[in-house]
Amino acid sequence: MTGGGERFGVKIMRHYNIGCSVRALSVLGPLSYFRPIRNVKRAMVRIHLRLMIACAPLVAALAALPAQWVAAQGAPAAAQSAPDAPLQISWEVRNRFRLFREERDFLLHTDSSRGRSILASEQALELQSDGRGWARNTVSRLCIDLAGRVSEPCTRDNVKESYLTPVDHPVIVRLTGPIPVGATCAWSFDDGEGPQQSTFDCAEPVNLRVRYGRPTIATVEVSSGSEAPQRVSTEIMVRDFFIAGLGDSIASGEGNPDRPVALSDEGFCFRYYLGTANAQYYRPSRAGYKGGRACEAPDSLQVWQRQSALWLNSACHRSLYSYQTRTALALAVQYPHIAVTYLPLACTGATIPDGLFGGQRARECPPTKSASSCQGTVNAQLAELREAVTAAKRRQPERKLDLVLLSIGANDINFSGLVADVIVDTPTERVLFRRSGVMGSVDDSRAALARDLPQSFGKLREALKPLVGDMSRVVYVSYANPTLAGGAPCPGGRAGFDIHPSFNAQPQRLANVSSYVQNEFLPQLKALALCQSGILCRDPAADRMTFVDAHQAAFADHGFCARASSDPEFDRQCFSPKGESFDPDIVTASNQPMLCGRSAGEYRAYLPRARWIRDANDSYFAAMTYPQGLPSSSQPADIHDATWGILSAVYGGAVHPSAEGHAAMADAALPAVASVLQLDTAVPEVIREPAASIVIAPGAR
């Protein structure tokens, strides 16, 4: 945040500490932003002609750098002008996805997104990271901490900024087009409080911070030898969009921990329900866990949790891979004249009553080295959003919430209960789960879809109106049917679900759920969002949300059972299509639970796969989540308990989109979001004319 009378900050970008660079920088002082104070006489910095000549080889060297390196510095495509193109001023906001503290994390995405869809970019980053995921380090460099608290202020690229209410933005400005060799550029930046002026070699970009909420007129006079100077000007006006994400596990990114759990070669013991002392089975343990792995050697939860997966927010299993984050990030990548202030609030397990309007149970607690207790609850998303908007308006009365990304409704009709009904197949577990209410039925879900969900949705619509004003600014992104491959329901079986001995996707139950989701649930969601098909809205024309479902057709070929020869080698070798991936012999499995003989640590959660839906095996291998956020009455007795064995396989995101699935959803959502925000309107015209002389302060020559 700027202080006192500080306004503009201008500095030269330098990449090599060689002679001419040092001399050129010496007139500017340190490499921090140069901020003139008002009571100091304004002066312009002019590069001496002999210094320009000395730097000419450097300019040529920079021009010869590979395009990929230049792009990494944020150079816009407009800089690559045709030889006969007119001179223009090109500018863009730096590190414009404001959740990221460091520009290197943003540049990673601008580089990978060039000429690619969000899905193709995600796949490229997956290969680049060897399947470990691009978010594993980024998650610790954000303006929102792992408990979900916004950092105010947030230090971004060594400058303190108010996250929710920025007062200025960093931009980089360049002259593009047929720039004469050795030309000098006299720059002027005026935001209405008098111009700030400086002179540089025209090959040099200029960095400055421009005030938010007012235009800055950028003017440059280009001089080259005896040729008549040319003047070019344009308006710099940053649009900072405040975007919030609301909803359930699909909205939060469940199934995609920012830093996946690491598994070991050795086995870890789980018990069966109602079994004898010998009723045990082994699955891969967590890497780094040094406690008791046998069922007869229980250990403390604190020791176990030190090796957990890491999330943007553990209580909500909120992830940077979620379609909401990817949409907001892609918006910033695609539109260089904007900034995006993004507030993720979605939480796995949320319903409209419990999650949006009221608090809810936490999914798990973040891993800590201390014995601190788990809070176990999460605040209501709408209350959190109202508080953030109110705080922003208190500091900036004109600040408003520009857009809400929303996915909600699946938990309201007990979709997780339908999944349990499909995959839990052994009689003992089915009886126990039915008694406890974990298992649902299509009939019960259908009743909730017809009665409860419309009422809750109507209340949600009324609660969102005061926050966004225009309901078209609520972009509802629908679910995809997770049970399809080749356009038909998956055949069922144990493939992908043999992580637990009781799991088996029963074909008939699976077909029934698939049909219900496709023909009843998804159409009803569309009707609710768009006030169609008998859904009562006070004013249908004004109450309609923006609805997105373009991704559903693509998911029809990428459900949880989709397989391909291009799938990762570990998957093809170690996840049996017959559901025989793990050694049933508890003696040998205690040392090596995988029948393929490979280490479970070789699994990579973030590699391209035919399936865009996590199966139960993926859920275990990526997250292996302990149900720490459950009520005390539902907590496992110890870390080898049968309940933990069941939940370890599903609690981390079984039957949820993978990072590729979320990227495909973001590809569908991005055009709708850009349209709502009117981002494809014309930018201000660049004015080009012969230059009148600019008076240069004598002391600046």
256-271: pLDDT as tens digits: 999 999 999 999 999 9
Q: What is the pLDDT of residue 564?
A: 97
Is residue 376 pLDDT above 90, yes or no?
no
- Report d(CA 612, CA 153) in Å as an integer: 38
Three-state secondary-structure class, residue 282: strand
Asked whether the beta carbons of 672 and 271 are under 8 A apart, the reply is no
Q: Which residue has the tokens 């111009």?
A: 195
φ, ψ dihedrals at 493, nearest 5°: 110, -175
Q: Which of 570-579, 618-627, 643-652 has the highest mean predicted lDDT (pLDDT)?
A: 570-579
What are the tens digits of pLDDT across the range 521-533?
Answer: 999 999 999 999 8
Is residue 34 pLDDT above 80, yes or no?
no
Mean pLDDT of the chain: 85
Residue 372: pLDDT band (50, 70, 90) is: low
Residue 241: pLDDT band (50, 70, 90) is: very high
Rounded to 10 deg, the angle between the 381-395 and 452-468 helix axes is 10
Q: What is the pLDDT of residue 502?
A: 93
Tell me what the mean pLDDT of segment 631-660 comes to.
86
Q: Which residue has the tokens 């890497």?
A: 287
Asked whether the beta carbons of 291 and 631 are under 8 A apart, the reply is no
Q: Exposed e or buried b for every residue in 77-98, given b needs 16+ CB within 10 A?
A: ebbebeeeeebbbbbbbbbbbb
Is residue 150 pLDDT above 70, yes or no?
yes
This prediction's pTM: 0.86
Q: Residue 33 has which token pair?
A: 């932003």
Q: What is the pLDDT of residue 374?
A: 61
In this structure, the dihedral spanned by the alpha carbons of residues 377, 382, 387 and 393, taken in order and rounded to 10 degrees, is 160
| Torsion sign (Cα): 452, 454, 455, 459 | positive
Residue 365: pLDDT band (50, 70, 90) is: confident
- Report d(CA 65, CA 617) in Å as an integer: 46
Q: What H or E segment, with its residue span, contains residue 530?
A: helix 522-530
Q: What is the pLDDT of residue 648?
A: 85
C-alpha separations of 361 from 372, 602, 644, 648, 691 in Å: 18, 33, 17, 17, 66
Kindly report which listed range (154-158, 275-279, 437-441) carries the lowest average pLDDT score: 275-279
Three-state secondary-structure class, residue 26: helix
- Report d(CA 540, CA 50) in Å as an integer: 70
C-alpha separations of 81 from 94, 113, 114, 175, 634 in Å: 21, 21, 17, 10, 64
Those residues whose C-beta lies under 8 Å from the C-beta of residue 394, and which sit 6 or more positions away, are: none
φ, ψ dihedrals at 94, nearest 5°: -90, 145
In this structure, the dihedral spanned by the alpha carbons of residues 499, 502, 506 and 512, taken in order and rounded to 10 degrees, is -100
Q: What is the pLDDT of residue 342?
A: 98
- Report d(CA 11, CA 25) in Å as an integer: 9
What are the tens digits of pLDDT across the range 40-51?
Answer: 233 333 333 233
Tell me what the mean pLDDT of segment 397-426 comes to.
96
Structural domain 242-676, CATH architecture: 3-Layer(aba) Sandwich (3.40)
Three-state SS for 467-492 is HHCCHHHEEEECCCCCCEECCEECCC
- Report d(CA 314, CA 388) in Å as an integer: 21
- Report d(CA 567, CA 558) in Å as an integer: 12
Burial class (CB in 10 A: 0-12, 13-18, 19+), 261: buried
Kindly report which listed range (85-94, 441-450, 518-527, 529-538) carries the lowest average pLDDT score: 529-538
Tell me what the mean pLDDT of segment 28-45 comes to.
31
Kindly report which listed range (309-323, 367-381, 546-560, 583-597) carries the lowest average pLDDT score: 367-381
φ, ψ dihedrals at 428, nearest 5°: -60, -50
Tell me what the mean pLDDT of segment 326-333 comes to.
98
Is residue 124 pLDDT above 80, yes or no?
yes
Residue 370: pLDDT band (50, 70, 90) is: low
Residue 275: pLDDT band (50, 70, 90) is: low
Asked whether the beta carbons of 264 and 600 are under 8 A apart, the reply is yes
Kindly report which listed range (13-17, 170-174, 386-390, 556-560) carries the lowest average pLDDT score: 13-17
Widest distance between CA atoms in the chain: 96
φ, ψ dihedrals at 421, nearest 5°: -65, -35
Q: Which amino acid is at 349?
A: G
| Torsion sign (Cα): 306, 311, 312, 318 | negative
Kindly report which listed range (409-423, 458-472, 532-546) carries the lowest average pLDDT score: 532-546
pLDDT greater at residue 688 or residue 275: 275
Half-sphere exposure at residue 401, Cβ-oriented, CA atoms within 13 angstroms:
27
For the residues of 233-246, what is the DSSP string, one character each? EEEE--EEEEEEEE
Is residue 137 pLDDT above 90, yes or no?
yes
Tell me what the mean pLDDT of segment 197-222 comes to.
96
Asked whether the beta carbons of 385 and 400 are under 8 A apart, the reply is no
Kindly report which listed range (185-189, 306-310, 343-347, 684-688) carries the lowest average pLDDT score: 684-688
Tell me what the mean pLDDT of segment 129-145 comes to.
97
Kindly report which listed range (9-23, 347-361, 627-641, 673-687) carries the lowest average pLDDT score: 9-23
Return the percentage of the chain with pLDDT > 90, whole number: 71
Tell me what the mean pLDDT of segment 510-521 comes to.
98
C-alpha separations of 601 from 8, 509, 579, 605 in Å: 51, 33, 20, 10
Three-state secondary-structure class, residue 617: helix
What's the full length of the chain, in residues? 701
Please, where are the H alpha helices in 238-380?
249-252, 301-305, 323-334
Q: What is the pLDDT of residue 56?
A: 40
What are the domain boundaries of the chain?
A: 11-98+155-237+684-700, 242-676
- Report d(CA 590, CA 266) in Å as an integer: 6
Tell me what the mean pLDDT of segment 297-320 comes to.
87
Q: Which residue has the tokens 């045709």?
A: 82
pLDDT greater at residue 66 or residue 490: 490
Asked whether the beta carbons of 508 and 502 are under 8 A apart, the reply is no
Q: Residue 60 has which token pair?
A: 């040529």
pLDDT greater at residue 372 or residue 116: 116
What are the tens digits of pLDDT across the range 546-596?
Answer: 999 999 999 999 999 999 999 999 999 999 999 999 999 999 999 999 999
Angle 385-2-237 from CA coordinates, rounded to 5°: 70
| Torsion sign (Cα): 95, 98, 101, 107 | negative
What are the tens digits of pLDDT across the range 496-506?
Answer: 999 999 999 99
Q: What is the pLDDT of residue 645?
A: 87
